[in-house]
């Protein structure tokens, strides 16, 4: 008998998550531009997945590492399954765009025009745009196939590039043509020019096939890379609505301007995805900042993982591109529509189409935070739990602003993992340092895809006299914590903020995250010990309340699960509720299986990857897994353990993945205040009650919608939470109006 696997494959589980996002794009109950946004998100998600996860597996395969995953699949088998699923997913993406969204958007007044459908006035407009905004900027690159020397280039006119050190193998050579007035294509000797793959980034490019030169039969090719910052959607005049044409179609219309005297046989849009799984050897990095800059630069020239191209490409052109970027058939994706669907996100903000968007749900100020009193006063009165974006992140920014300007604040210590481009929190830290406060910022340079921004912030903070620490060697500092030390009449007081999300006021508007503000002595002492451990050489001491990965957090979670098992063995009620982004770690999954087999009821809300198989008799019949995909990104990590009636609640920065529990600095923070605990329990219950946007994970790895039973109330959890938060604000406002506060003369005591 075959034994059913105990786990789902991590990568295939992620692809099922992205499928649920695509399901939102196909849902006709959702406004059109919101559906387009979901489609763009699926493409952006898939880009990152390809760069990181597929890139990592490709490296393992190249190294001959065929160790099976928990499902028993080798690296090659995983890549085959992933490639097949991605090809099927691409078919669904373009069906959604071409057969569903674009016709509906056109009926609503938003039209993508093809070059063959332009009238004379529109052609004239597009031609003028091309001559003024495109032709002077783009540069064609002539290409041919030729061997590359293994020796560094010595020509002083040719800059040394990673390509000039390429090992001897067949590559495709490139040379730049004139910038403003292109001349006929002339291919120079290939030995002194960089290779094709290194010069093409992940933006869209055109591959042009030219007729063979006189007296030859070999086709010639040229590349027109668009670059990252080109305007993709070109507005076209129309009698009504909003009409646009894509840049690649505009360039194709006037392609002959780049190749005078040449016969153009075809042009095809294409795009490559590079491997972003480049690791820093920290033991060899004497200057971490400069080494991280090298990693960022190297990512722009890493190996190609995926080739996307228009499906009308001829076999010769396809084979040329495929050979040039060195990808197998499995990783060539022929698209029947526009490439880079993630770029369509920009269209969702088009003016004049409010009816095609969700009703606005602006963040509300927390009823616990009064604009008329200091946040230090509010926190001293009681712990404050905020749930963003329902409750505004402004309170967190305000806490840092107050700390920066308050003369009684002595020190601020802060972790920064991902921040916004114009971060007010970074500005507050700089201002605090300039006012003489002791400011420490732990800036994680290894936050993937935010390395460049964090490098710039680190340098900026250093110039402002902030003490900057680049995380911990060998680990990523993913914890979200801020410590403020303030002198008060009764002595020095510590205020802390812990979060499940980043210190980023932009993403806080769309990410559902929890924030805890407190001046608890225990949490303040733990915060101090935490910063001492990660900014110095001191060994982490035992904390009073919090737990930190990679030491202590995993053990605490296993201890809490084991406690529920023990309660159940003694015929007591036992329950575990966990809300996470991802559940991958085998040891944690096995612990949940053991709890299920002991009779513990387990309810999991997992937004993304889940490798646990729920509902399997004898293994996990007491475990249910659901996930919510809606207008806000579910990002909060909230944990509940019944614990014999002494309910334990935690918020955390960590998902249950090996990287979070073993290779990152993460925090698990208990929530002790009764009002905060009730709020968290209500959030969990509401999330689990969702029968509109929730999907249930089945034992076979597929998801099915959860629908309200006949006569039952429909519960869309995010809408319920938003309305509930609004009602709390209204109740607090009415209570304030009913309270009379006398105005006292200056100098009078209360």
Residue 742: CB partners within 8 Å, gap ≥ 6? Answer: none
Contacts 24+ apart (CB under 8 A), 149-155: 149/191, 153/192, 155/192
- For 321, the token pair is 């591109």
What does the radius of gyration of the chain's CA atoms come to, in whole angstroms? 29
Residue 216: CB partners within 8 Å, gap ≥ 6? Answer: none
Q: Are strands 623-628 and 694-697 parallel, antiparallel or unpaired?
A: antiparallel
Across the strands, what pairs with 499? Answer: 515
- Per DSSP, the residues of 247-303 read HHHHHHHTGGGGSTT--EEEEEEEEEEE---PPP-GGG-SSHHHHHHHHHHHHTTS-
Indicate if 478 belongs to the active site. Answer: yes
Contact 471, 477 (CB under 8 A): yes
Q: Which of 388, 478, 497, 635 is catalytic?
A: 478
CA distances (Å), 513 to each of 137, 385, 516, 609, in order?
A: 43, 11, 10, 18
Scan for tokens 């499940």, then name that residue. Answer: 500
Residue 408: CB partners within 8 Å, gap ≥ 6? Answer: 486, 487, 488
CA distances (Å), 717 to each of 116, 609, 692, 693, 712, in order?
A: 47, 20, 8, 8, 15
Backbone angles phi, psi at 550, to 5 degrees: -90, 10
Say if residue 550 is preceded by a cis peptide, omega within 30 of 0.
yes
Contact 643, 571 (CB under 8 A): no
Find the Cα–Cα–Cα–Cα dihedral 608, 201, 423, 289, rounded to 10°. Answer: 100
Residue 248: CB partners within 8 Å, gap ≥ 6? Answer: 204, 206, 226, 269, 338, 339
Contact 348, 37 (CB under 8 A): yes
Say if residue 649 is preceded by a cis peptide, omega within 30 of 0.
no
How many CA within 13 A on the CB side of residue 682? 15
Q: Which of 317, 313, 274, 312 is nearest to 296 (CA)?
A: 274
CA dist 580 and 655 (Å) reads 6
- For 49, the token pair is 């997945």
CA dist 92 and 96 (Å) reads 6
| Active site residues per annotation | 478
């Amino acid at each position: 008998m075959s034994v059913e696997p105990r786990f789902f494959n991590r990568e295939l589980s992620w692809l099922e998550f992205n499928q649920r996002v695509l399901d939102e794009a196909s849902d006709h109950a959702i406004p059109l531009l919101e559906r387009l946004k979901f489609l763009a998100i699926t493409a952006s998600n898939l880009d990152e997945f390809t760069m990181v996860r597929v890139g990592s597996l490709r490296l393992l395969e190249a190294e001959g590492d065929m160790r099976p995953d928990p499902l028993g699949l080798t690296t090659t088998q995983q890549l085959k399954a992933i490639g097949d699923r991605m090809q099927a997913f691409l078919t669904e993406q373009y069906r959604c765009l071409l057969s569903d969204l674009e016709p509906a958007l056109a009926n609503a007044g938003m039209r993508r025009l093809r070059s063959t459908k332009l009238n004379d006035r529109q052609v004239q407009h597009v031609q003028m745009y091309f001559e003024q905004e495109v032709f002077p900027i783009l540069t064609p690159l002539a290409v041919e196939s030729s061997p590359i020397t293994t020796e560094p280039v010595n020509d002083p006119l040719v800059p040394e590039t990673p390509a000039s050190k390429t090992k001897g193998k067949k590559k495709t050579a490139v040379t730049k043509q004139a910038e403003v007035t292109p001349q006929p294509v002339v291919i120079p000797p290939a030995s002194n020019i960089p290779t094709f793959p290194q010069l093409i980034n992940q933006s869209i490019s055109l591959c042009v096939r030219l007729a063979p030169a006189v007296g030859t039969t070999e086709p010639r090719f040229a590349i027109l890379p668009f670059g990252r910052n080109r305007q993709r959607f070109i507005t076209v005049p129309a009698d009504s609505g909003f009409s646009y044409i894509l840049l690649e179609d505009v360039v194709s219309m006037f392609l002959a301007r780049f190749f005078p005297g040449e016969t153009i046989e075809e042009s095809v849009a294409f795009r490559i995805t590079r491997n972003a799984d480049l690791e820093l050897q920290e033991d060899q990095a004497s200057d971490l900042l400069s080494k991280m800059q090298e990693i960022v630069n190297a990512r722009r020239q890493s190996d190609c993982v995926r080739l996307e191209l228009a499906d009308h490409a001829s076999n010769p052109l396809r084979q040329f591109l495929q050979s040039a970027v060195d990808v197998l058939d499995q990783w060539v994706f022929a698209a029947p529509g526009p490439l880079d669907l993630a770029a369509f996100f920009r269209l969702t903000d088009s003016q004049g189409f409010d009816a095609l968007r969700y009703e606005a749900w602006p963040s509300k100020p927390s009823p616990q935070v009064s604009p008329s009193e200091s946040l230090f006063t509010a926190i001293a009165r009681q712990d404050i739990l905020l749930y963003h974006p329902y409750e505004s992140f402004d309170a967190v920014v305000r806490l840092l602003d107050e700390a920066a300007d308050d003369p009684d604040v002595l020190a601020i210590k802060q972790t920064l993992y991902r921040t916004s481009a114009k971060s007010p929190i970074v500005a507050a830290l700089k201002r605090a340092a300039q006012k003489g406060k002791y400011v420490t910022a732990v800036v994680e340079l290894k936050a993937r895809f935010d390395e460049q921004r964090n490098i710039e912030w680190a340098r900026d903070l250093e110039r402002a006299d902030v003490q900057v620490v680049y995380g911990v060697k060998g680990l990523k500092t993913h914890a979200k914590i801020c410590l403020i030390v303030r002198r008060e009449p009764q002595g020095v007081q510590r205020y802390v903020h812990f979060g499940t999300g980043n210190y980023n006021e932009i993403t806080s508007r769309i990410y559902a995250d929890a924030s805890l503000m407190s001046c608890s002595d225990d949490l303040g002492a733990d915060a101090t010990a935490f910063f001492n451990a990660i900014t110095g050489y001191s060994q982490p001491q035992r904390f009073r309340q919090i737990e930190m990965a990679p030491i202590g957090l995993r053990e605490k979670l296993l201890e809490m699960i084991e406690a529920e098992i023990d309660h159940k063995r003694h015929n007591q009620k036992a329950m575990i509720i966990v809300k996470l982004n991802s559940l991958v770690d085998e040891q944690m999954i096995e612990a949940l299986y053991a709890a299920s087999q002991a009779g513990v009821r387990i309810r999991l809300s997992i937004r993304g990857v889940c490798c646990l198989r729920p509902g399997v008799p004898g293994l996990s019949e007491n475990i249910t897994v659901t996930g919510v995909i809606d207008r806000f990104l579910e990002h909060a990590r909230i944990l509940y353990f019944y614990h014999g009636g002494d309910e334990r609640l935690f918020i955390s920065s960590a998902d249950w993945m090996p990287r979070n529990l073993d290779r990152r600095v993460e925090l698990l923070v208990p929530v002790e205040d009764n009002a905060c605990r009730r709020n968290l329990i209500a959030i969990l219950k509401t999330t689990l009650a969702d029968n509109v946007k929730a999907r249930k994970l089945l034992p076979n790895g597929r998801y099915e919608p959860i629908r309200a039973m006949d006569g039952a109330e429909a519960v869309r959890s995010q809408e319920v939470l938003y309305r509930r938060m609004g009602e709390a604000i209204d109740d607090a406002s009415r209570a304030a109006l009913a309270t009379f506060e006398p105005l006292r003369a200056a100098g009078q005591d209360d």
